[in-house]
């Protein structure tokens, strides 16, 4: 049996026990759609169906990446989530393939972006907590700053790059400002 890497990053709006319960439900729901793991659209549709009907003030965004190492391709889709970053041959590309956040409508579409993969490709999946922190002037860290950090540190290992991004966010945000949102960042290298 061949195993394929599949990565789901989800972000629940809000904080505390209600958000934690929805996050736990999302984790359990993922187990029920794992049989269609090769099809990001089916995975996200299944998760949306399960999560539809949750409290209207609790929304879930998600990004799903399936890497087919046998056929050298990746499949990506998202539900209201920040774009996937693909670093290839020194160039950084934003992959946007988004449908609605989970729970808004019982049936919606989640378009798929298929792409070939090559050794030395690098994928970054992250939550909005990476790009939303503000500096003392009220400017968000944003996509442009994230791109700069990723480009400048392309030679770093995945863990070193993740540490550098987090370090840059801490430098950007004044120590007097509390972190408002959780941060998830996953760096994946194709070897």
* Whole-number pLDDT of residue 2: 41
CA separation for the pair 161, 100 (Å, rounded): 30
Given a cut of 60, whether residue 133 has pLDDT beyond it is yes
Under a CB-based contact definition with an 8 Å cutoff, are residues 19 and 58 in contact? yes
SS (HEC) of 9-46: EEEECCCHHHHHHHHHHHHHHHHHHHHHCCCHHHHHHH
The residue with tokens 């760096």 is 187
What is the CATH class of 6-189? alpha beta
Torsion of CA 28, 16, 108, 72, to 10 degrees: -60
Whole-number average pLDDT of the chain:
89
**Per-residue pLDDT at 56:** 63
**Domains of the chain, residue spans:** 6-189
More confident residue, 18 or 162: 162
Residue with the bigger pLDDT between 26 and 160: it is 160
Q: Is the pLDDT assigned to residue 118 strictly greater than 90?
A: yes
Q: Read out DSSP for the chain?
A: -----EEEEEEESS-HHHHHHHHHHHHHHHHHHGGGTT-HHHHHHHHHHHHTTS-TT--EEEEEEEEETTTTEEEEEEES-PPEEEEETTEEEEE--EEPPBTS-SS-----EEEE--TT-EEEEE-TTTT--B-TTS-B-HHHHHHHHHHHTTTS-HHHHHHHHHHHHHHHS-TTSPP-S---EEEEE--
pLDDT of 1 higher than 50: no
Question: Around 168, how many Cα atoms within 13 Å sit in the side-chain half-sphere?
Answer: 21
pLDDT for 171 equals: 94
Q: Which residues pair with 86 in a beta bridge?
A: 93, 123
Q: Work out the number of other CB atoms within 10 angstroms of the CB of residue 139.
A: 11
Q: Encode pLDDT of 40-83 as tens digits.
A: 999 999 999 888 876 666 788 999 999 998 999 999 999 999 99
Would you say residue 100 has pLDDT above 50? yes
């Amino acid at each position: 049996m061949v195993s394929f890497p599949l990565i789901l990053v989800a972000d629940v709006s809000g904080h505390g026990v209600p958000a934690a319960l929805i996050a736990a439900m999302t984790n359990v729901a993922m187990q029920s759609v794992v049989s269609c793991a090769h099809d990001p659209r089916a995975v996200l549709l299944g998760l949306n169906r399960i999560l539809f009907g949750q409290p209207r003030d609790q929304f879930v965004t998600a990004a799903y990446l399936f890497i087919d190492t046998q056929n050298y391709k990746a499949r990506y889709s998202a539900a209201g989530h920040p774009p996937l970053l693909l670093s290839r041959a020194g160039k950084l590309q934003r992959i946007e393939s988004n449908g609605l956040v989970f729970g808004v409508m019982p049936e919606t579409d989640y378009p798929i972006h298929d792409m070939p993969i090559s050794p030395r490709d690098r994928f970054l999946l992250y939550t909005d907590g990476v790009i939303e922190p503000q500096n003392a002037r009220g400017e968000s860290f944003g996509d442009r700053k994230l791109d700069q950090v990723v480009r400048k540190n392309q030679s770093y290992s995945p863990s070193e790059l993740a540490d550098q991004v987090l370090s840059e966010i801490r430098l950007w945000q004044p120590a007097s400002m509390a972190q408002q949102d959780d941060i998830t960042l996953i760096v994946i290298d194709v070897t």
